[in-house]
Amino acid sequence: MRTVSVLGATGSVGDSTFKVLEELPDTHRVVSMVAHSNDARMVELARRFRPELVGLVDRAAAGRAREALAPSGIEVIEGDDVAVEALRATSPDLVLAAITGAAGLASSLETVTRGASLLLANKEALVMAGNLITRAAAASGAAIVPVDSEHSAIFQAIHGEDARAVRRIFLTASGGPFVDREAGSFADVRPEDALRHPTWEMGRKITIDSATMMNKALEIVEARWLFDVPAEAIEVLVHRQSIVHSMVEFVDGSILAQLGTPSMTVPVRHALGYPERVETSSSYFDIEQFSALSFEPPDAVRFPALDLGHAVARTLGLSGTALNAANEVAVAAFLDGATRFDRISETAARVLDALEDVADPDLEQILAADAWAREEATRCLSR
Amino acid sequence: MRTVSVLGATGSVGDSTFKVLEELPDTHRVVSMVAHSNDARMVELARRFRPELVGLVDRAAAGRAREALAPSGIEVIEGDDVAVEALRATSPDLVLAAITGAAGLASSLETVTRGASLLLANKEALVMAGNLITRAAAASGAAIVPVDSEHSAIFQAIHGEDARAVRRIFLTASGGPFVDREAGSFADVRPEDALRHPTWEMGRKITIDSATMMNKALEIVEARWLFDVPAEAIEVLVHRQSIVHSMVEFVDGSILAQLGTPSMTVPVRHALGYPERVETSSSYFDIEQFSALSFEPPDAVRFPALDLGHAVARTLGLSGTALNAANEVAVAAFLDGATRFDRISETAARVLDALEDVADPDLEQILAADAWAREEATRCLSR
**Residues of chain A contacting B283 with CB distance shorter than 8 Å:** 167, 249, 253
How many domains does one find in chain A? 2
Answer whether B277 sits within 8 Å of A250, measured CB to CB: yes
Q: Are residues A326 and A198 in the same domain?
A: yes
Predicted local confidence at residue B199, as pLDDT: 57
Q: Are residues B40 and B102 in the same domain?
A: yes
Secondary structure E strands in A227-299: 234-238, 244-250, 255-259
Q: Are residues A306 and A162 in the same domain?
A: yes
A125 forms bridges with which residues in the sheet? none
Range of the domain at B69: 2-146
B338 touches chain A (CB under 8 A): no
Residue B348, domain member (yes or no): yes
Residue A277, domain member (yes or no): no
Closest Cα in chain B, distance from residue A252 (Å): 5
DSSP letter string over B91-102? --SEEEE---GG
Predicted local confidence at residue B378, as pLDDT: 98
pTM of the model: 0.94
Predicted local confidence at residue A356, as pLDDT: 97
Closest Cα in chain A, distance from residue B98 (Å): 21
A247 touches chain B (CB under 8 A): yes
Q: Are residues A303 and A240 in the same domain?
A: yes
Q: What is the mean pLDDT of residues A149-154?
A: 97
Residue A275, domain member (yes or no): no
Predicted local confidence at residue B202, as pLDDT: 65
**Residues of chain A contacting B156 with CB distance shorter than 8 Å:** 254, 256
Number of other residues whose CB lies within 10 A of the CB of residue A17: 30
**Residues of chain A contacting B259 with CB distance shorter than 8 Å:** 247, 255-257
Predicted local confidence at residue B257, as pLDDT: 98
Is 0.90 exceeded by the ipTM? yes
Residues 6+ apart with CB under 8 A from B131: B225, B316, B360, B361
Residue A103, pLDDT above cutoff 90: no
Q: Are residues A50 and A111 in the same domain?
A: yes
pLDDT digits (tens, 9 = 90+) for B173-228: 999 999 999 999 999 999 998 888 655 556 788 889 999 999 999 999 999 999 99
Residue A82, pLDDT above cutoff 70: yes
Closest Cα in chain B, distance from residue A296 (Å): 6
B266 touches chain A (CB under 8 A): yes
Lowest model confidence (mean pLDDT) among A166-175, B191-200, B228-237, B355-364: B191-200
Which of A146, A174, A198 is the endpoint of a domain? A146
Residue A108, pLDDT above cutoff 70: yes
Secondary structure E strands in A115-254: 117-120, 144-146, 166-173, 234-238, 244-250
Helix (H) or strand (E) holding A96: strand A94-97
Contact B365, B343 (CB under 8 A): no
Which among B160, B263, B279 has CB closest to A161?
A: B160
Closest Cα in chain A, distance from residue B63 (Å): 39
Q: Nearest 5°: CA angle at B124, between B119 and B129?
A: 90
Helix B12-22, helix B265-273: angle, nearest 10: 60
Q: Considering only alpha carbons, which residue of chain B is nearest residue A157?
A: B256
B163 touches chain A (CB under 8 A): no
Contact B345, B218 (CB under 8 A): no
- CATH number of domain containing B320: 1.10.1740.10
For testing contact with chain A, the best of B27, B247, B277 (most A CBs within 10 A): B277
Contact A345, A212 (CB under 8 A): yes
Predicted local confidence at residue A205, as pLDDT: 85
Q: Are residues B175 and B323 in the same domain?
A: yes
Q: Are residues B258 and B213 in the same domain?
A: yes
Which of B98, B129, B146 is the endpoint of a domain? B146
Q: Are residues A334 and A358 in the same domain?
A: yes
More confident: B5 or A261 = B5
Predicted local confidence at residue A204, as pLDDT: 84
Lowest model confidence (mean pLDDT) among A25-29, A104-108, A205-209, B322-326: A205-209
Q: Considering only alpha carbons, which residue of chain B is nearest residue A161?
A: B160
Residue B275, domain member (yes or no): no
More confident: A92 or A284 = A92
> Can you tell me the distance from the alpha carbon of A109 to that of A104, in angstroms, rounded to the nearest whole number?
9
Amino acid identity of B120?
Answer: L
Which of A146, A163, A182 is the endpoint of a domain? A146
For testing contact with chain B, the best of A152, A252, A277, A288 (most B CBs within 10 A): A252
Distances (CA, A) of A22 to A15, A18, A35, A38, A268: 11, 6, 19, 21, 12
> Can you tell me the distance from the alpha carbon of A107 to that of A84, in angstroms, rounded to the nearest whole number?
5
Answer whether B251 sits within 8 Å of A279, measured CB to CB: yes
Q: Are residues B214 and B350 in the same domain?
A: yes
Please list, residue by residue across B86-100, b when 16 or more beta carbons sit within 10 angstroms of its beta carbon and e when fewer do: bbebbebebbbbbbb
Number of other residues whose CB lies within 10 A of the CB of residue A340: 17
B286 touches chain A (CB under 8 A): no
B157 touches chain A (CB under 8 A): yes
**Residues of chain A contacting B287 with CB distance shorter than 8 Å:** 237, 295-297
Q: Are residues A109 and A186 in the same domain?
A: no
Predicted local confidence at residue B200, as pLDDT: 55
How many A/B residue pairs have CB atoms within 8 Å?
147
Predicted local confidence at residue B135, as pLDDT: 98
A170 touches chain B (CB under 8 A): yes
**Residue closest to B328 by CA, chosen among B311, B344, B304, B351:** B344
Closest Cα in chain B, distance from residue A234 (Å): 14
Answer whether B170 sits within 8 Å of A285, measured CB to CB: yes
Which among B254, B259, B294 has CB closest to A255?
A: B259
- CATH number of domain containing A118: 3.40.50.720
B162 touches chain A (CB under 8 A): yes
Q: Considering only alpha carbons, which residue of chain A is nearest residue B248?
A: A258
Answer whether A277 sits within 8 Å of B159, measured CB to CB: no
Burial (0-12, 13-18, 19+ Cβ within 10 Å), A314: middle
Answer whether A278 sits within 8 Å of B162, measured CB to CB: no
B273 touches chain A (CB under 8 A): yes
Query: DSSP 3-state assignment of B374?
Result: helix
Q: What is the mean pLDDT of residues A139-167?
A: 96
Q: Are residues A142 and A168 in the same domain?
A: no
Residue A271, domain member (yes or no): no
Residue A222, domain member (yes or no): yes
B32 forms bridges with which residues in the sheet? B5, B53
Number of other residues whose CB lies within 10 A of the CB of residue B25: 10
Q: Compute the Cα dihedral for B5, B10, B13, B16 and give only its sign.
A: positive
Residue A91, pLDDT above cutoff 80: yes
Beta pairing, strands B117-120 & B255-259 = unpaired
Q: How big is chain A, counted in residues?
A: 383
Percent of chain A with pLDDT strictly greater than 90: 90
Residue A347, domain member (yes or no): yes
B341 touches chain A (CB under 8 A): no
Q: Considering only alpha carbons, which residue of chain A is nearest residue B162?
A: A276
Please list, residue by residue across B60-78, b when 16 or more beta carbons sit within 10 angstroms of its beta carbon and e when fewer do: ebbebbbebbeeeebbbbb
Residues 6+ apart with CB under 8 A from B361: B131, B317, B318, B321, B369
B236 touches chain A (CB under 8 A): no
Answer whether A257 sits within 8 Å of B252, measured CB to CB: no
Residue B73, pLDDT above cutoff 60: yes
Predicted local confidence at residue B7, as pLDDT: 98
Answer whether A277 sits within 8 Å of B254, measured CB to CB: yes
Lowest model confidence (mean pLDDT) among B107-116, B190-199, B251-260, B361-370: B190-199
Q: Are residues A171 and A92 in the same domain?
A: no
Q: What is the mean pLDDT of residues B84-103?
A: 94
Residue B250, domain member (yes or no): yes
